Amino acid sequence: MTEILFFVFAAVAIGGAFGVVVSRSPVASLLFMVTTLASTAGIFVLLEAHFLAAVQIMVYAGAIMVLFLFVIMLLNLGHEYQRDIRGNVALIVGFAVTGSMGGLLARQLGSGTSGLETNLGPGDAIDAALREHGAVGAIAQPLFTEYVVPFELTGILLLVAIVGALVLAKKAS
């Protein structure tokens, strides 16, 4: 039953991601993204990562999607617009990036190792960290010690994106 649910959630996630890309309406893309994030949370539940599933729903499907919706409303993206890039330049760049990422993935899968084994460590170390700190502590300990700089840079990047959206919205009105 778990395998069937996994494939159902995976199919919904892939379909939602495809809907994000091909949808012409920004609001519809946003709803497809919420569907994708919710199905990813379902996969986390199947993997018994309940904390990650809850964070996925609360933070991403809740807060970030509301932020995206406000940006769409502020920038008035629901109306027709003229394309910024003329011709098929965006299509060519998209295919080039997709092809290169697919090639990197194929090379990684062909080498027989995913690269995650060396980064995560053995399963015994993860189990020991879970027993010592609990699920939240095992995630928070490396996040706020080893990875504090990327964590803070991500926060600054999100702040800059919000300020940029507000500046663009202010110029438009």
Q: For 117-140, give the DSSP string.
A: HHHH--HHHHHHHHHHHHHHHHHH
Which whole number is the average pLDDT over 108-132? 65
- On whether the CB atoms of residues 41 and 50 are closer than 8 A, the answer is no
Which whole number is the average pLDDT over 61-84? 67
Amino acid, single-letter form, for residue 50: H
**C-alpha to C-alpha distance for 62 and 53, rounded to whole angstroms:** 12
Give the tens place of pLDDT for each residue, 140-159. Answer: 888 888 888 888 888 888 88
User: Predicted confidence band at 79 (pLDDT cuts at 50, 70, 90)?
Assistant: low
Cα dist from 68 to 55, 97, 101, 170, whole Å: 17, 24, 26, 17
As a whole number, the mean pLDDT across the chain is 77
* CATH code of domain 1-81: 1.20.120.1200
Which whole number is the average pLDDT over 103-124? 62
More confidently predicted of 39 and 92: 39
In this prediction, residue 14 carries a pLDDT of 92
Give the tens place of pLDDT for each residue, 15-47. Answer: 989 888 888 877 788 888 888 989 999 999 888
Domain spans of the chain, in order of start: 1-81, 86-120, 121-173
Percent of the chain residues topping a pLDDT of 70: 78
